[in-house]
Amino acid sequence: MTKRPQHIVVHALRLKQSDTTPVYLFALTAEHLDLIASVARLTRNDEGKLEGYQRSIAKEHVETIAKYLNSDNALLPNAVILALSSVVKFEERRGPGNDDGVAIAGRLTIPVPTKDEVKPGWIVDGQQRSTAIAKLKNRQFAVPVAAFVTDSVDLQRDQFIRVNSVQPLDKGLVTELLPEVAIEISPRLAARKIPSALVDLLNTKDESPFKGLVRRPSMTPTQKRTAVVQDTSLVNAIQESMSNTSSCLFPFRNLATGQTDMESIWWMLMTYWTAVREAFPEAWALPPTDSRLMHGGGIRSMGRLMDRMMASVVPFEDEAPQRLRQEFSKFKDQCAWVDGEWSELGNLPWNEIQNTPKHIRMLSNALIRLYIQGRTVAS
């Protein structure tokens, strides 16, 4: 058995990019990659705080990669991206020709931890490949690596999102990470940051009707069994209400200062969705296959109904919950969340509602018409 080294020294290029965050290109053997790098798996600790950022592995995909890499003349030209801690040391190569204006040549020294210590490297991109590399028979197989040095988990998450938001990736994973990223991100992702943070609160606060019901990538298998609402559906509903000028949450954003009245938005969400749960107890907290209210199509459509029903509600108004209960009582019996048909949709069976733009538009329209009709009859 090969003796475990105390450190690994590799030839490396330091790229001239950031003045504060060093970036290196180098190669590691399969054996050495396994010694110094680990995966920061996305989980939540006992206090509910998000830890890590990586999704779970796709076993079949890993096996396919491993089978190829164990074949003759296998190639792996795409680099694994690592975040290295500041314990690594770079020494410039002496002599002429070590700096071509783009990169500086030298040696990078990476400490090798004992089996009980934390590894100095975290895999930001390439966890499927690195898991397959760990299965290689040829432990000296050369693996290309691109690495940046930081002790900031925020920066690691930021780079993970930037790399993976342009690739086919579980949107829920990126969405759940957004509230934890403190670094400036693209406008498209920034628009989802506050809605995702609100969904976190809805899923964790004891007083929330959604407590434990929103399915997030960081959940354990046991938690996922009772989480029946896709987080992206709820995030999209909140984001839409905060973005559209005619929606009920839009007035709580100050576009001039960039400030958001989170307290009022939280009250609006809690008041409305608590009333929804009380109006449809038979459809609440069931799997989407048994309740279209918990389905993406139902959540998005009820979000648009919220914009209509809450438009005239003043935050923290004592009478609002009772008034909402009265409003729902006028049309709730015409809703078909768990059985029957939607007469407003041409007798469409309850379980044929889909999470598509067409069905969300149709169901939203039907719910708003039922709400208006109920108010008209009452008056």
- Convert 242-259 into a string of H (helix), E (strand) and C (coil): HHCCCCCCHHHEECCCCE
Which of 73-82, 172-181, 310-319, 357-366 is predicted with the least confidence, judged by mean pLDDT? 172-181
Mean pLDDT, the chain, integer: 86
Sign of CA dihedral 288, 292, 294, 295: positive
Angle, in degrees to the nearest 10, between helices 193-204 and 262-279: 50
Is 50 exceeded by the pLDDT of residue 66? yes
Q: According to the model, what pLDDT value does residue 96 have?
A: 81
Lowest-confidence range among 118-122, 174-178, 288-292?
174-178
CA dihedral over 180, 186, 192, 194, signed as positive or negative? positive
Which tops the pLDDT comparison, 36 or 40? 36
Q: Above 80 in pLDDT, residue 58?
A: no
Q: Which residues pair with 144 in a beta bridge?
A: 27
Q: Kindly state the average pLDDT of the residues 12-38.
A: 93
Q: Name the pLDDT band for 54 (thresholds 50, 70, 90).
A: very low
The answer to whether 43 and 51 are in contact (CB under 8 A) is yes
CB 165 within 8 A of CB 174: yes
Helices (H), the chain: 30-36, 59-69, 127-133, 153-164, 171-177, 187-190, 193-204, 221-224, 231-243, 262-279, 296-309, 320-329, 357-378
Distance CA 129, CA 368 (A): 49
Predicted local distance difference test score (pLDDT) of residue 189: 54
Q: Where are the domains of the chain?
A: 7-156, 191-378
**179 band by pLDDT with thresholds 50, 70 and 90:** low
Mean predicted confidence (pLDDT) in 216-227: 85
Q: What is the pLDDT of residue 218?
A: 74
Which segment of 23-27, 65-69, 357-361 scores lowest on mean pLDDT? 65-69
pTM equals 0.59
C-alpha radius of gyration, the chain, whole number: 26
- What percent of the chain shows pLDDT beyond 90? 55
Which pLDDT belongs to residue 165? Answer: 52
Q: Dump pLDDT digits (tens) for 139-171.
A: 999 999 999 998 887 777 677 666 655 454 445
Please compute the mean of the pLDDT values over residues 268-292 and round it to a whole number. Answer: 97
Q: State mean pLDDT over 359-364.
A: 97
Tokens coding 261: 């009245």
From the list 165, 219, 183, the residue with the least C-alpha distance to 41 is 219
Q: State the average pLDDT over residues 222-228.
A: 90
Cβ neighbours for 140, distance < 8 A, ≥ 6 positions apart: 29, 30, 31
* Mean pLDDT confidence for 355-379: 91
Banded model confidence at residue 279, pLDDT cuts 50, 70, 90 = very high
Cα–Cα distance between 62 and 269 in angstroms, integer? 41
At residue 169, the pLDDT reads 44
Q: What's the pLDDT at 46?
A: 58
| Whether the predicted pLDDT of 180 surpasses 90 | no
Question: How many whole angstroms separate alpha carbon 199 and alpha carbon 231?
Answer: 7
Reported as a single tens digit per residue, the pLDDT across 96-109 is 888 999 999 999 99
Tens-place pLDDT, residues 327-353 = 999 999 999 999 999 999 999 999 999
pLDDT at 200: 87
Q: Mean pLDDT lowest for which of 146-155, 281-290, 366-375?
A: 146-155
Of 202, 197, 374, the closest CA to residue 279 belongs to: 374
Retrieve residue 326's tokens.
């009265």
> 105: which strand partners?
13
